[in-house]
Amino acid sequence: MAGASRRWAAELLQFWFCELAPEQYWRRDAALDAEIVRRFLPDWSALRTRPAEAFLGDRETARAAVLLFDQVPRNAFRDDPRAYSSDDLARAIASGALERGWDQGLTHAERQFLYMPFMHSEAIADQDRSVALFAALGDRSAAEFAERHRAMIARFGRFPHRNARLGRTSSPAELAAIAAGNAW
C-alpha cells in the first residue's frame, strides 16, 4: 500500500485494510467502535468542515478521507444522527476520486469502501451510481446489497431504518420494510 501524505490517512488505511479482519467491517462490536473513537474521532472532528478538494491531493488521502467521513462516524455514533453527518463530504470526495480514476488498481475491499458513500445516500441518482459501481466489482452479493439499498430509496425516498434516529415518522409500509430486514 502506497503511503498517504498525511499521518491520519496512513494510520486509518493501515488500520482499516491491514489490522481489521473483513468480518469486522460488517458487525457491531463495542470494543472496535471504542478503538475507532479513540484513534480516529479526533481527526474526524478536526477535519469534517474542510472542503472535499482538501482531500483530493492524492489517491491515498482521498481513500482515507472517504473512510474517515463515511465509516468512522457510523462506528462512533451508532444509533445517533451524527452517524450520517459527514455523508455529503464522503460522497464528494468519493466522486472526486472516481473522476480521477483512483479506484483503478485497488483491491476489491478498497474499491468497495470507496463506493460505499453512494450506497449510503438517500438520493436516487447516487443509488443508481452505487448499483453500477458494485455490479462492476463482479461480486454478486455486494451488487445485490446495493440493489436492495436502491430499492428502499426508489420506494420511499429515504432509508426507513434511519427514521427513528433522525426524528422522522415512519409509515406503516416503512415499518413493514424494516421488519422484513431492510435495516442496515
- Domain containing 170: what range? 121-184
**Rounded to whole angstroms, how far apart are CA atoms 40 and 173?**
37
Q: Are residues 4 and 80 in the same domain?
A: yes
3-class DSSP state for residue 165? helix
The model's pTM is 0.94
Distance of alpha carbon 99 from alpha carbon 157, whole angstroms: 26
Per-residue pLDDT tens over the stretch 100-138: 999 999 999 999 999 999 999 999 999 999 999 999 999
What does residue 94 show for φ and ψ, rounded to 5 degrees?
-60, -40
Q: What is the pLDDT of residues 8-59, one digit of tens each?
A: 999 999 999 999 999 999 899 999 999 999 999 999 999 999 999 999 999 9
Which residue among 45, 74, 107 closes a domain? 107
For residues 100 and 128, state if they share a domain: no
Does residue 116 form part of some domain? no
Same-domain status, 74 and 51:
yes
CA distance 38 to 133: 32
Question: Treating both helix axes as pointing N-terminal to C-terminal, what angle do 87-99 and 108-119 enclose, rounded to 10 degrees?
Answer: 130
| Per-residue pLDDT tens over the stretch 48-64 | 999 999 999 999 999 99
- Is the pLDDT at 86 greater than 80, yes or no? yes
Number of domains within the chain:
2
Q: Which residue has the cell 463515511?
A: 70
Q: What's the mean pLDDT when you consider all of the chain?
A: 96
Residues 63 and 113: their CA atoms lie apart, in Å, by 8
Same domain, 55 and 146: no
Both 9 and 98 in a single domain? yes
Specify the CATH number for the domain of residue 134: 1.25.40.10
Joined together, the cell numbers standing for residue 87 give: 455523508
Displacement of CA 132 from its chain's centroid (Å): 16
- Residue 143 shares a structural domain with residue 171: yes
